[in-house]
Amino acid sequence: MEKDALTAGVSEIGGLFTTAEIRVLICYIFSSINQAIPGKLLANTLHYEGIANCFEVNDSIDYLYQNGQLELVDKDEDTYIITQSGKDVAETLKTTLSIIVKERAYNAALKMYSRFKNTKETDIKISREDNKTFITCSACDNDSPFMSVKLLVSDEEQAIHIKEKFLNNPTEIYSNIIDLLTK
């Protein structure tokens, strides 16, 4: 297959260089995760992983949307879901992609989706009070916090580090706190 996609930022080993492969991979990811996924975030993730150029991924998502393989769920969040037509593409053509590329892309997309979901289900505020920096991390259910932790931190840099750790797995943090309090 002749290369017809932009290749800036794409790894020579395990990268995709054709528009057709990128479109198949997108259908495969959406079909495998089977949730509303933010398009631009997926494009950035695949680019960061060296799998496909972010502009090509964005163009491919738009193409798949225009041709009925993807459906726009929320314009503000830029989230899409896969249609039956997209699932058919993924199933029919999934063998055209190497197992390594599919696995790398799926794992990266799953981490990205988990982080996206965690961001929506948490509320994190960094504040300054009396020349001290605080971070308040809340895990929410339907926009209502069911757990909040407010910490005094040394500076904003430490607060940002804690925020990133919290967003990685708020459920684990919540479970650990409950375990510690109930032992």
Q: 19-116, what's its fold?
A: Arc Repressor Mutant, subunit A (1.10.10)
Write down the pLDDT at residue 144: 87
Which residues, 6+ apart, have CB-to-CB distance to 40 below 8 Å? Answer: 58, 78
The residue extents of the domains of the chain are 19-116, 121-182
More confident residue, 97 or 2: 97
Q: What is the pLDDT of residue 93?
A: 86
pLDDT score of 94 = 81
pLDDT at 15: 74
Question: Whole-angstrom Cα distance, residue 17 to residue 38?
Answer: 22
Rounded mean pLDDT, 1-9: 55
* pLDDT tens sequence across 136-172: 999 988 878 888 999 999 999 999 999 999 998 898 9
Element (H, E) at 130: none
Given a contact cutoff of 8 angstroms between Cβ atoms, the answer to whether 46 and 59 are in contact is no
Let me know: does 94 contact 28? Beta carbons within 8 Å: yes
- CB-based burial label for 157 (10 Å; 0-12, 13-18, 19+): exposed
Query: For residue range 90-126, what is the model confidence (pLDDT) as tens digits?
Result: 998 888 898 989 999 999 999 999 999 999 999 999 9
User: In the predicted model, is pLDDT for residue 130 greater than 60?
Assistant: yes
